[in-house]
A and B are shown apart, each in its own frame.
Chain A
Amino acid sequence: SQTIHQWPATLVQPVGSPLSLECTVEGTSNPNLYWYRQAAGRGLQLLFYSVGIGQISSEVPQNLSASRPQDRQFILSSKKLLLSDSGFYLCAWTWLRTDTQYFGPGTRLTVL
């Protein structure tokens, strides 16, 4: 069976510090991978998606970036965090078109 992992579970970082969130999927190959964010009082917003190694599409211009160095690994990064980057970050995967997206446990990021 497939499982999706995210770490860390929670993170408190100062403004201006770098960020690296990792997501890995087990039990499948060549998944589509997604990063979402839920800011306080807002819905889930798609940040990035990837259909293959090294292929990243960005939905919203921001100071975040994503990379996919391996087939089942998806990384969300920032060089300098902003207060507005605080939120709950979810990674998701899907395999076939129209198939359900399955979500990881999420990372709660607080930028102070």
Chain B
Amino acid sequence: ILNVEQSPQSLHVQEGDSTNFTCSFPSSNFYALHWYRWETAKSPEALFVMTLNGDEKKKGRISATLNTKEGYSYLYIKGSQPEDSATYLCAFSPPNTGNQFYFGTGTSLTVIP
């Protein structure tokens, strides 16, 4: 079982604040890194998949960066809105597997109006 860590575990921010979370993963055996958004009572929703060192992806106010050499990815949310409240999961995929994902425990974000 591969160790994927996310921090912080939970976060409360005011509406309009920008915020970021961290995902750490094994740097020695990398294939892909995925970010998901998981709202209560819904299925996890894919945000980004990144495969190359230095990758940057953006979707509206949400963006992500990837550093495979040091084994971390950041997720940024600019100008947080109440609808951004959710748990944000990252998943690491090593090579030579059946596309297995190893998930972190997630960062729970609450945006206070």
Contacts and interface: CB of A to CB of B under 8 A. Distances in A.
Interface of A: 32, 34, 36, 42-46, 49-51, 57, 59-60, 90, 94, 97-106
A97 B100 contact: no
Contact of B100 (A59, A103, A104): A59
Interface string B34-58: 1000000011101001010000000
A102 B46 contact: yes
Given A98-B31, A100-B49, A104-B43, A42 B105 contact: yes
Contacts of A101: 34, 46, 91, 99, 101
Contacts of B43: 90, 103-106
Contact of A100 (B46, B89, B103, B104): B46
B34 A100 contact: yes
A46 B31 contact: no
Interface in B93-107: 93, 98-106
Contact of A46 (B32, B42, B101, B105): B101
A101 B31 CA distance: 15
Main DSSP-derived SS at the B contact region: loop
Interface string B19-43: 0000000000001101000000011
A103 B98 contact: no
Given A49-B100, A59-B1, A90-B43, A43 B106 contact: yes
B48 to A, nearest CB: 9
Contacts of B104: 43
A103 B89 contact: no
A43 B7 CA distance: 13
Given A103-B44, A106-B43, A94 B99 contact: yes
B39 to A, nearest CB: 12
B1 A34 contact: no
Given A42-B105, A43-B104, A44-B89, A49 B44 contact: no
